[in-house]
Amino acid sequence: MTRRLLRSYLASSTVAVLGVGSLFIFATLHIQARAVLWITAILFVSFLTMVSAELLVYRYHMAPIRRALSESCTEKELRKAYLRTHQLPQLTVLRIMGPHLFGVSVPALSLSAWAIARGDLNLSPSDLLSAAVGAVLVATMHALIEYYLTTTAVSPMLETLIETGEKRGISLSLEGRILVSLRMKLIISLVLLGIFPLILFTLANAIRLAQQNSALTVGYWQWALLILPVSIAISILGAILLWRNIFMPMELLQKSLREIEQGRMDKAVPDPFSDEFSRLIAGMNHMRKGLLERDRVNASLVESYFATLATALDARDPYTAGHSLRVAHYACTIAELSGESAVVIDRVKRSALLHDIGKIGVRDDVLLKPDRLTEDEFEQIKKHPELGEAILKQVQPEEAMAPLLPGVRSHHEQYDGRGYPDGLAGEHIPKLGRIIAVADAFDAMTSDRPYRVGMDKEKALRIMREGAGVQWDPFYTEVFLEWAEARWTREMLLDLTAVTKLQS
In sequence order, the β-bridge partners of residue 70 are: none
Q: Any idea which of 7-16, 48-57, 255-264 has the lowest mean pLDDT?
A: 7-16
29: left (phi over 0), alpha (psi -120 to 50) or beta: beta
Q: What is the pLDDT of residues 148-195, one digit of tens each?
A: 888 888 888 888 888 888 888 888 888 878 888 888 888 888 888 888
Q: Is the pLDDT of residue 17 over 50?
A: yes
- Name the percent of the chain lying above pLDDT 90: 20
Q: Where are the alpha helices (DSSP H) in 15-74?
A: 21-28, 33-68
Q: How confident is the model at residue 105 (pLDDT cuts 50, 70, 90)?
A: confident
Q: Any idea which of 34-38, 73-77, 293-297 has the lowest mean pLDDT?
A: 34-38
Q: What is the pLDDT of residues 304-348, one digit of tens each?
A: 777 777 777 767 666 566 888 889 999 999 999 999 999 999 999
> What's the pLDDT score for residue 338?
94
Helix (H) or strand (E) holding 473: none
Q: Is the C-alpha dihedral spanning 167, 168, 174, 180 positive or negative?
A: negative
In sequence order, the β-bridge partners of residue 468 are: 472
> What's the pLDDT score for residue 385?
92
The answer, as to whether pTM is greater than 0.85, is no
Report how far apart, in Å, the C-alpha atoms of 57 and of each of 16, 96, 126, 144, 461 are: 19, 11, 32, 19, 86
More confident: 123 or 477: 477
Report how far apart, in Å, the C-alpha atoms of 488 and of each of 7, 422, 436 are: 88, 35, 20
Q: Is the pLDDT of residue 61 over 80?
A: yes
Q: How confident is the model at residue 437 (pLDDT cuts 50, 70, 90)?
A: very high
Question: What is the Cα–Cα distance from 480 to 476, expressed in whole angstroms?
Answer: 6
How many C-beta neighbours within 10 Å does residue 19 have? 13
In sequence order, the β-bridge partners of residue 398 are: none
Whether the Cβ atoms of residue 435 and residue 331 lie closer than 8 Å to each other: yes
Whether the Cβ atoms of residue 231 and residue 214 lie closer than 8 Å to each other: no
Q: What is the pLDDT of residues 136-150, one digit of tens each?
A: 888 888 888 888 888
> What's the pLDDT score for residue 8?
59
> What's the pLDDT score for residue 495?
45
> What's the pLDDT score for residue 150?
86
User: Helix, strand, coil proportions of the chain in percent (round to 5)?
Assistant: 80, 0, 20
DSSP 8-state symbol, 317: -
Cα pseudo-dihedral 117, 123, 128, 130, rounded to 10: 170
Spell 214-242 as b/e; 16+ CB within 10 A means b.
Answer: eeebeeeeeebeeeeeebeeebeeebeee
Q: Which three-class secondary structure state does DSSP give residue 80?
A: helix
Q: Which three-class secondary structure state does DSSP give residue 304?
A: helix
Question: What is the Cα–Cα distance from 304 to 404, expressed in whole angstroms?
Answer: 17
- The residue-averaged pLDDT of 428-452 equals 88
Helix (H) or strand (E) holding 332: helix 323-337
DSSP secondary structure string for all residues of 401-451? HGGGHHHHHHTT--TTS--SSS---GGGS-HHHHHHHHHHHHHHHHS-BTT
Q: What is the pLDDT of residues 373-388, one digit of tens each?
A: 888 888 888 899 999 8
Instruction: Count CA atoms closer than 13 A to 15's CA, side-chain side.
Output: 10
- Cα diameter, the chain: 132
